[in-house]
């Protein structure tokens, strides 16, 4: 456990700069979600991918890391028995693509939402609290923003907005 903690600290400190290239967000989503095929029998992975999402400038490896972190968190939030929804949409008027990762777990208490992206903050019993800090840093390097939204009656959705 200590080695994993040290490795995560090292990854956060030495996260290589993003190498942004033109690519398909949907291809990255499909490649990432294929890693979960057959792993969690109690989880339903739903895809709601917008047909008009354009090619984006992104770092494929970094975006896979973002998706893995968010999907892993969503699976944990549902206690491995629920629905995880990955969605994309193109907001033409804003020139932004939105990527959402949602779950139907218990949601995130309002008093912890502001701290989610702070290094070393965690609501879990295990882990270092670096996952969402790394996600936030990668999103910033992609000139994007990330936020968390409440889903009623229960659940949470992480939304990443990237320039198109």
Interval 140-161 mean pLDDT: 95
**pTM reported for the whole predicted model:** 0.88
As a whole number of angstroms, the distance between CA 11 and CA 110 comes to: 29
Beta strand 82-91 pairing with 43-49: parallel
Residue 54's pLDDT is what?
97
Residue 49's pLDDT is what?
98
Find out whether 128 and 122 touch, Cβ atoms under 8 Å: yes
pLDDT in tens, 45-103: 999 999 999 999 999 999 999 999 999 999 999 999 999 999 999 999 999 999 999 99
Residue 105, pLDDT above cutoff 70: yes
Residue 26's pLDDT is what?
98
pLDDT in tens, 109-144: 888 888 888 776 776 766 666 788 889 989 999 999
CA distances from 43 to 38, 74, 80, 156 (A): 10, 10, 6, 16
Interval 15-30 mean pLDDT: 92
């Amino acid at each position: 456990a200590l080695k994993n903690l040290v490795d995560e600290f090292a990854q956060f400190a030495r996260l290589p700069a993003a190498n942004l290239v033109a690519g398909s967000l949907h291809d990255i989503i499909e490649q990432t979600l294929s890693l979960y095929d057959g792993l969690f029998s109690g989880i339903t992975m739903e895809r709601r991918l917008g047909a008009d999402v354009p090619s984006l400038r992104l770092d494929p490896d970094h975006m896979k890391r973002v998706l893995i972190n968010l999907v892993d968190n969503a699976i944990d939030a549902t206690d491995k028995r629920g629905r995880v929804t990955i969605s994309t949409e193109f907001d033409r008027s804003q020139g932004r693509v939105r990527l959402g990762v949602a779950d139907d777990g218990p949601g995130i208490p309002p008093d912890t939402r502001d701290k989610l992206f702070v290094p070393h903050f965690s609501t879990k019993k295990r882990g270092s609290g670096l996952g969402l800090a790394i996600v936030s840093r990668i999103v910033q390097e992609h000139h994007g923003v990330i936020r968390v939204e409440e889903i009623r009656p229960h659940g949470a959705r992480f939304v990443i907005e990237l320039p198109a």
